[in-house]
Each structure stands twice: as C-alpha cells, then as structure tokens.
Amino acid sequence: MVFALAGRRIDDPSAKSARFPLASLEAVREQLRATLVERGATALVASAANGADLLALGEAGGLGLRRRIILPFERERFRRTSVVDRPGDFGGVFDRVLDEVAERGDVVTIATDGNDDEGAYLAASELILREAVRLAAERHQPAAAIVVWEGQSRGADDLTAAFRADAMERGLAVVEVLTLT
C-alpha cells in the first residue's frame, strides 16, 4: 500500500489550544510505525515539516520504504519556515532525511513565485495525493491517506482538514493518527 500523509506540526509555544504537543511525540511516532507496518505500507509520500511529516518519514526510512517528499518551495526556505520554527530537534532530521531522499531522486519542489505561501502549501498537499495515487498505480497497489491530527478542523484555513477532505473525495481510505493522547 502507498500512503499519502499530512498532519500537524508541533505546537508553537504561544498556541492557545493544543493540537500536537511536544510531549506526544513518541506516542505519535509509535502509532505511525504501527500503522505503516500493520497496513503493509511500501511507500510514503509527504512533505517534510516539523512534526507529523518528519516523524513518518523517519519511520518509513527505518522500515526501508520508498519515500517521496513534496516541498512547496525551495529547501532552505521550507526548513526555516516549516521545520526549525517550532519546538523539537527537527533541523538535523530534516537535513538527513532530505539528503537521503534527494539522493534517490525522490524530492519534488514546486516552483512558486514566493508570494503565496498558503497556495504553495495547498498545491503541495494536492501533489502529495496525486503522487501517492500514481505510485500506487505503478506498483499495482492501493493508495490510502494518513492524517495526523487531534481529530477536528481548526477552521477554513486548516490545511490538514483540507488534505483529509481531498483524500476522501478521491475515494482513498483515510487512517487517522491522533496527536492528543
């Protein structure tokens, strides 16, 4: 099975409500690994942000799965704005995972004009789903989605909820990994 994945980043220390507290990191990592193993994952398509993405990519790498990373814009800008801007020691993980996956030619960077971050993130989410479906078809396997979140939308600008809705519209099975334990 080929999985597309999206989910929460670690909560900003100034966040008004918990969505993915740093204290939940290991529990989420264990749930992700169990999901990949139990569902027979062969590949994972995701972005590489702090939190859900990098946890899943790390576990997929440890299991020997193919990993394909979709970045909404160039690597250093993404690292600065989506990786090291939140708690957790994700900078080194990002560098290692990106280097490993890039070596295999499996990092895609979407070209953007740099003025529409939300549009770039939405485009990346859509491409993650399309690439998972494409890889699954190539492998004659089913595609599915993993959504790593607390279980509810935070509103109209919630990219994780939009990813979940898009996956469901495409007819993909959606597995939820909860961040609040």
pLDDT tens-digit map of 52-94: 999 999 999 999 999 999 999 999 999 999 999 999 999 999 9
Average pLDDT, the chain: 96
Burial of 155 (C-beta count, 10 Å sphere; 0-12/13-18/19+): exposed
Using the predicted structure, report yes or no on whether residue 181 has a pLDDT greater than 80.
Answer: no
Cβ neighbours of residue 84 closer than 8 Å, sequence gap 6 or more: 50, 90, 91, 94
Rg of the Cα atoms in the chain: 15
Per-residue pLDDT band at 111 (split at 50, 70, 90): confident
Check whether domain 2-142+159-169 has CATH 3.40.50, yes or no: yes
- What is the model's pLDDT at position 175? 98
User: Domain limits of the chain?
Assistant: 2-142+159-169
Could you tell me the two tokens for 167? 């996956």
CA max distance for the chain = 45
Per-residue pLDDT band at 7 (split at 50, 70, 90): very high
Could you tell me the two tokens for 32? 């992700």
Angle made by CA atoms 77, 102, 33, in degrees to the nearest 5:
95
User: At 10, is the secondary structure helix, strand, or coil?
Assistant: coil
pLDDT tens-digit map of 153-174: 999 999 999 999 999 999 999 9
Please give the sequence-ordered ranges of beta strands (E in DSSP) within the chain, or none if there are none: 2-7, 43-46, 66-71, 107-109, 143-149, 173-178
Give the distance from CA 142 to its chain's centroid.
18
Phi then psi for residue 39, to 5 deg, are -95, 5
Percent residues over pLDDT 90 in the chain: 94
CA dihedral 105, 118, 28, 70 (to 10 degrees): -10
Per-residue pLDDT band at 117 (split at 50, 70, 90): confident
Contact (Cβ atoms closer than 8 angstroms) between residue 71 and residue 48: yes
